[in-house]
């Protein structure tokens, strides 16, 4: 899609608007889930990191809201109140280890990878609105994956390997739950000029990279 045609392309504007609403809703839900987790985090350093992430996600929501108003986006939520409550209930129910896996592997690392595939084909304003959020996500993912590696290193070898083998099924369950929400994500990506099959390929590559890094022995 020619970059200059974005603003006049109604199909693009509607689809990108829905993607931005969805992305912003996810950031808002991450903010709430991390805020709830602070009280039961393992130590003060982690509580500080989670607190910083809550602040970052709040900043992302503000940036996206400001851009969506300028972009003329239909602000109708992609996820219903019930679906948002299900998201929060899921993360509320998790052990610390499972929280790290679902939040920082699936939602943060793989979600960010998917969003990154949109950026090159997005209009300049949308690209700029995503710049700070995606930069911050790098820090969030680094924190989450490092904590996950620490937690896994404390498990007996057979238990650690069993947990790693089960991570893909955890991710698939979360993906299926998202699809069960009735959001036609492939169509939304296609409408903004992104080949969804390529997005899936990039996400799977990133997933394999993360799993391989977690399987490596941690330095003492």
Q: Tens digit of pLDDT for each residue in 48-93? A: 999 999 999 999 999 999 999 999 999 999 999 999 999 999 999 9
Burial bucket for residue 212 (CB in 10 Å: 0-12, 13-18, 19+): exposed
The band of 7, judged by pLDDT with boundaries at 50, 70 and 90, is: very low
Q: pTM to 2 decimals?
A: 0.90
- HSE of 91 in the Cβ direction (CA atoms, 13 Å)? 25
**What is the structure's pLDDT at 218?**
53
Q: What is the pLDDT of residues 173-208, one digit of tens each?
A: 877 776 667 778 888 888 888 898 999 999 999 999
Q: How far is CA 4 from the centre of its chain?
A: 29
CATH number 1.10.10.10 given to 3-215: no
List, as own/partner pairs, every contact residues 29-38 make where C-beta atoms lie below 8 angstroms and the sequence separation is at least 24, other chains included: 29/79, 29/84, 29/87, 29/88, 30/57, 30/103, 30/107, 30/108, 31/57, 31/58, 31/61, 32/88, 33/87, 33/88, 33/91, 33/92, 33/103, 34/103, 36/88, 36/91, 36/92, 37/91, 37/99
Q: Where are the domains of the chain?
A: 3-215
| Separation of alpha carbons 193 and 189, rounded Å | 7
**What is the structure's pLDDT at 149?**
95
């Amino acid at each position: 899609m020619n970059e200059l045609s974005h603003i006049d392309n109604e199909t693009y504007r509607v689809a990108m608007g829905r993607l931005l609403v969805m992305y912003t809703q996810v950031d808002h839900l991450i903010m709430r889930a991390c805020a709830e987790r602070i009280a039961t985090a393992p130590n003060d350093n982690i509580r500080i990191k989670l607190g910083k992430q809550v602040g970052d996600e709040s900043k992302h929501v503000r940036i996206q809201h400001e851009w969506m108003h300028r972009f003329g986006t239909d602000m109708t939520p992609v996820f219903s109140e019930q679906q948002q409550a299900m998201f929060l209930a899921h993360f509320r129910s998790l052990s610390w280890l499972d929280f790290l896996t679902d939040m920082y592997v699936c939602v943060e690392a793989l979600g960010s990878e998917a969003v990154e595939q949109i950026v090159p084909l997005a209009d300049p304003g949308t690209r700029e609105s995503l710049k700070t959020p995606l930069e911050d996500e790098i820090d969030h993912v680094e924190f989450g994956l490092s904590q996950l590696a620490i937690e896994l290193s404390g498990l007996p070898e057979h238990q650690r390997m069993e947990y790693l083998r089960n991570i893909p099924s955890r991710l698939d369950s979360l993906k299926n739950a998202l699809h069960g929400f009735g959001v036609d994500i492939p169509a939304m990506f296609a409408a903004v000029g992104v080949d969804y099959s390529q997005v899936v390929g990039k996400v799977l590559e990133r997933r394999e990279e993360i799993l391989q890094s977690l399987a490596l022995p941690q330095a003492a």
